Amino acid sequence: MPVVANMSMLMQNPDGSAITFPMTSGLKPTPMFQPNVIPAGYYFYGTGAFDDTATAKRGEGSQIALLTGGTPGDEHELVGRFFDHVYVLGGQVVPYASDYQDWVSLLLRAPASAPEDRTTTHDGNANKVSVGPFNVIVPAPGNDGDWDVDGATMEAGEINLGLCPVPAGDPDEGGTSGWWDWDPAASPSITPNLTQTGGYNLFDAALPLARQANRYPAGGAGDVTPTAAVKGKKILPHWEWVFTLHQTGAAAVKLAIRLDTARAKTL
């Protein structure tokens, strides 16, 4: 039997075509690894800047760079948005001046929705229902509500700065218990779902959604963080990216951040 230096290059499908990934005895790929998955129609987009949501220009917003003062305990927060769907794949932290105990965190946050107050005339299309420390905004079928949701008034791209739809389930799979429908691929409008079978809900308070990085070390000179091979998750354009830089030493902290993403349009 001949010696084979690289068996993976010689594996074959039943039709004789070569395959280069691990497979089971049933000739199926094994679940041994999960490569980066970018959906059809999306392109890799590495960036160090947010979008400018006021002008609808991609990559022309604030630079993702943070700077604290010279007092230990200082924190600096940077908030930004992309105005269409982005799949986050990973990123890099590049410190230029920092202490080994300095750290940075990344939080994804859904801003509060702010429907128009109609409590005087009671002719709005929505009401607020308490769900603890905040309210969920639900449709008023008879247009006799105390609040009015204008789901058709959109700002730059897909963003309606007054409304922030929060998925009632996995954003990649759609929700099944929401009061509102929203399909930006078909229409930018946010419309009521009176049977509570929509994909989204609206809340009148900001909601933390996911902490992508928690107190990640920012120390070192020119050190970088390698991007992990992960399956990208869809980030809705209404959500805010909140970076927090915390200083522990006496000197000012300076660092830049690069995000590895995928998006449908890059220009």
Residue 86 contacts residue 159 (beta carbons within 8 Å): no
- The burial of 30, by beta-carbon neighbours within 10 Å (0-12 exposed, 13-18 middle, 19 or more buried), is given as exposed
Q: What is the DSSP letter of 122?
A: -
Q: For the residues 33-50, what does the mean pLDDT come to?
A: 80
- For residue 218, the number of C-alpha atoms closer than 13 Å in the C-beta half-sphere is 31
User: What's 231's domain CATH number?
Assistant: 2.60.120
Pairing of strands 254-263, 126-130: unpaired
Q: Which residue range(s) make up the domain with 9?
A: 1-33
Query: Is 91 within a domain?
Result: yes
Q: How far apart are CA 205 and CA 14, in angstroms?
A: 56
Tokens (6 digits) for 207 = 């909601």
pLDDT at 10 (0 to 100) = 44
Domain identity same for 77 and 107: yes
Q: How far apart are CA 174 and CA 136, in angstroms?
A: 18
Number of structural domains in the chain? 2
Q: How far apart are CA 178 and CA 171, in angstroms?
A: 12
Query: Is 195 within a domain?
Result: no
What letter represents residue 168's amino acid? A
Query: Is 149 within a domain?
Result: no
pLDDT at 21 (0 to 100) = 57
pLDDT at 226 (0 to 100) = 52
Query: Is 148 within a domain?
Result: no
What letter represents residue 210's amino acid? A
Query: pTM of the predicted model, to two decimals?
Result: 0.74
* Per-residue confidence band for 225, with pLDDT thresholds at 50, 70 and 90: low
Q: How far apart are CA 71 and CA 163, in angstroms?
A: 38
* Per-residue confidence band for 2, with pLDDT thresholds at 50, 70 and 90: very low
Q: What is the DSSP letter of 8?
A: G
Query: Is 141 within a domain?
Result: no
Domain identity same for 16 and 53: no
Say what percent of the chain tops pLDDT 90: 33
**Phi, psi (5° rounding) for residue 9?**
-75, -15
Query: Is 84 within a domain?
Result: yes
Domain identity same for 1 and 107: no
pLDDT at 7 (0 to 100) = 37
Query: What tens digit of pLDDT does each residue of 146-193 get?
Result: 999 998 876 666 677 788 888 887 655 555 789 999 887 677 788 999
Domain identity same for 100 and 47: yes
Q: How far apart are CA 86 and CA 69, in angstroms?
A: 32
* Through-space distance between the first and last CA atoms of the chain, rounded to whole angstroms: 55
Is the per-residue pLDDT at 52 higher than 70? Answer: yes
Domain identity same for 52 and 99: yes
Query: Is 130 within a domain?
Result: no
Query: Is 145 within a domain?
Result: no
